[in-house]
Amino acid sequence: MKTIEDLGDLAGQRVLVRSDLNVPIKDEVIGDDGRIRASLPTLVKLAKAGAKVIVTAHLGRPKGQPNPAYTLAPVAKRLGELLQPEGITVRFATDVTGDAAQTAVQDLDEGEVLLLENVRYDPREESKDEAERGALADELAALADVFVSDGFGVVHRKQASVYDVARKLPHAAGGLVLAEVDVLKKLTEDPARPYVVVLGGAKVSDKLAVIDNLLAKADKLLIGGGMVFTFLKAQGHEVGKSLLEEDQLDIVRGYLNEAGDKIVLPTDIVVAPEFKADSPATVVAADAIPADQLGLDIGPDSAKVFAAEVAAARTVFWNGPMGVFEMAAFAGGTKAVAQALTEVDGLSVVGGGDSAAAVRQLGFADDAFGHISTGGGASLEYLEGKELPGLAVLEED
């Protein structure tokens, strides 16, 4: 993949950047600006080179229609606050490629940044029809001279602003995309050992391909979160009212038979009668979950075992919380794993999505970890061994 340096002198050039600014927003307040901050180095680099920087990004799933709930206006404001110390002005266009965008591009000065409105307001962005996507890509390309792909969280999508526009302009990978790919290569090609993978989150079905691909590569696979109850049920244990995917039991039994002691399951579970923050929590053995209770976190003994495995590793990849970390009573397992990751003598990777949100909500600084990925789904698909369209297209001339 070409880098920004390969694009030559960018002074006065219009540079279209696909960033991932998909952050949680409620009542116009951004809950976690991690993805915005991760986009800054590339934007600053381009602006300081004298480029006219035009950013396209998405927020949520507005289903191809303008929707005030998904406007990028609050993101533009936050981006402006973060770039102000660099002396960089941020402007905002109220449409994707229409009159407002075209006028704003014409008025853009060297070293300034323009954020276009949510690209998913245009139904062509996510269209399965190549011609429809291509038409939007043509409009985006008309705004710029070159394209920089820096939204790693969307490179697994074959979308107009990710894939098609790269085929219409001279293109390069931004610093964030290059950093993500570098880390993922270290996880898949020749990881320092011991190599420990920690998987959590709600569903086994979301992680099947990752488990398939990593079982042969990792030394230990620690399983927590809602997905653990399908593993426990596959062992013949009662799981009460816990989250369970009955249709995955045979597949999970296959993993357990194949992997032996490589798969580490919790030995105790924090349970409660209801999915509520104030529901009374108790700790039970993992093979003795009461029928009227549901598991909401790994237990304290398991948290110690998981933490010890993580801290002793040289390479760790973690995707998915160990429990319902948003509720204090069920955050202990996730916090223990996060703390252990900060103590790894080697590469520790927090695999984006809910894991990244969890470590920040629990009070950990980003620089406490080797790498916090901005792309949960993209990271998982890379680790599954899939070709990611948004990366493959950057390798084309």
Chain position carrying tokens 């080697």: 346
**Are residue 14 and residue 159 in the same domain, yes or no?**
yes
Cis status of the peptide bond prior to 194, with omega within 30 of 0: yes
**Are residue 155 and residue 252 in the same domain, yes or no?**
no
| Catalytic residue (one of 34, 151, 320, 353) | 353
Does 16 or 374 have the greater pLDDT score?
16
Is 392 part of any domain?
Answer: no
**Are residue 158 and residue 193 in the same domain, yes or no?**
no
DSSP characters for 132-195? HHHHHHHHHHHT-SEEEE--GGGTTS--IIIIIGGGTS-EEE-HHHHHHHHHHHHHHTS--SSE
Is 20 part of any domain?
Answer: yes
CATH, residue 102: 3.40.50.1260
Q: Residues with Cβ < 8 Å from 176, sequence gap 6 or more?
A: 38, 39, 41, 42, 150, 151, 152, 374
Domain boundary among 176, 208, 223: 176
**Are residue 172 and residue 190 in the same domain, yes or no?**
no
Is 391 part of any domain?
Answer: no
Q: Which residues are annotated as a binding site for substrate?
A: 20-22, 35, 58-61, 120, 157
The two three-digit tokens of residue 49, written as one number: 């080179």
Domain boundary among 176, 208, 229: 176
Reported as a pLDDT band with limits 50, 70 and 90, residue 230 is very high
Q: Are 224 and 203 contacting, i.e. CB atoms less than 8 angstroms apart?
A: no
Find the mean pLDDT for residues 346-371: 89
Q: Which residues are annotated as a binding site for (2R)-3-phosphoglycerate?
A: 35, 120, 157
Is 397 part of any domain?
Answer: no
- Burial zone of 21 (CB within 10 Å; 0-12 exposed, 13-18 middle, 19+ buried): buried
User: How confident is the model at residue 79, as a pLDDT?
Assistant: 98
Q: Among 5, 6, 11, 134, which Cα is nearest to 397's? A: 6
Reported as a pLDDT band with limits 50, 70 and 90, residue 219 is very high
Find the mean pLDDT for residues 135-139: 98
**Are residue 172 and residue 275 in the same domain, yes or no?**
no
Domain, as residue range, for 139 = 4-176
**Are residue 195 and residue 247 in the same domain, yes or no?**
yes
Q: Which amino acid is at 138?
A: D
Cα–Cα distance, 351 to 25 (Å, whole number):
21
124, pLDDT greater than 90: yes
Reported as a pLDDT band with limits 50, 70 and 90, residue 357 is confident
**Are residue 56 and residue 192 in the same domain, yes or no?**
no
| Catalytic residue (one of 35, 52, 220, 233) | 35
213, pLDDT greater than 90: no
Grouping H, G, I as helix, E, B as strand and the rest as coil, residue 203 is coil
Q: Which amino acid is at 182?
A: D
Is 396 part of any domain?
Answer: no
Active-site residue 35, yes or no? yes
User: How confident is the model at residue 205, as a pLDDT?
Assistant: 87
DSSP characters for 56-89? E---S--TTS--GGG-SHHHHHHHHHHHGGGT--
Domain boundary among 131, 155, 176: 176
374, pLDDT greater than 90: no
Helices then strands, counting H and E runs in the chain, come out as 13, 17
pTM of structure: 0.89
Active-site residue 386, yes or no? no
Q: Among 93, 71, 90, 88, which Cα is nearest to 23's? A: 71
Q: Which residues are annotated as a binding site?
A: 20-22, 35, 58-61, 120, 157, 207, 295, 326, 352-355
Mean pLDDT, all residues of the chain: 95
User: How confident is the model at residue 46, as a pLDDT?
Assistant: 98
Rounded to 5 degrees, φ, ψ at 176 are -65, -45
353, pLDDT greater than 80: no
Q: Residues with Cβ < 8 Å from 68, sequence gap 6 or more?
A: none
Q: What is the 3-state secondary structure (H, E, C) of 266-287?
A: CCEEEEECCCCCCCCCEEEECC
Q: Which helix (H) or strand (E) holds 371?
A: strand 371-372
242-259 pLDDT per residue, tens: 999 999 999 999 999 988
Q: Residues with Cβ < 8 Å from 383, sequence gap 6 or more?
A: 184, 187, 188, 210, 213, 214, 317
Residue 236: left (phi > 0), alpha (psi -120 to 50), or beta? left
User: How confident is the model at residue 204, as a pLDDT?
Assistant: 84
Reported as a pLDDT band with limits 50, 70 and 90, residue 27 is confident
Reported as a pLDDT band with limits 50, 70 and 90, residue 207 is confident
**Are residue 171 and residue 189 in the same domain, yes or no?**
no
**Are residue 227 and residue 314 in the same domain, yes or no?**
yes
Find the mean pLDDT for residues 358-368: 90
Is 393 part of any domain?
Answer: no
| Catalytic residue (one of 2, 37, 203, 217) | 203
**Are residue 168 and residue 225 in the same domain, yes or no?**
no
Q: Residues with Cβ < 8 Å from 352, sequence gap 6 or more?
A: 153, 319, 372, 373, 374, 375, 376, 377, 378, 379
Chain position carrying tokens 């529901």: 279
Q: Which helix (H) or strand (E) holds 115?
A: strand 113-115
Is 26 part of any domain?
Answer: yes
Active-site residue 8, yes or no? no
Residue 174: left (phi > 0), alpha (psi -120 to 50), or beta? beta
Reported as a pLDDT band with limits 50, 70 and 90, residue 376 is confident
Cα–Cα distance, 19 to 152 (Å, whole number):
8
Is 389 part of any domain?
Answer: no
63-121 pLDDT per residue, tens: 999 999 999 999 999 999 999 999 999 999 999 999 999 999 999 999 999 999 999 99
Active-site residue 203, yes or no? yes
**Are residue 146 and residue 277 in the same domain, yes or no?**
no
Find the mean pLDDT for residues 10-27: 95
260-300 pLDDT per residue, tens: 789 999 999 999 999 999 999 999 999 999 999 999 999 99
Between the alpha carbon of residue 52 and those of residues 98, 107, 358, the distances in Å are: 18, 10, 35
DSSP characters for 45-56? HHHHTT-EEEEE
User: How confident is the model at residue 375, as a pLDDT?
Assistant: 83
**Are residue 193 and residue 90 in the same domain, yes or no?**
no
Count of domains forming the chain: 2
User: How confident is the model at residue 254, as a pLDDT?
Assistant: 93
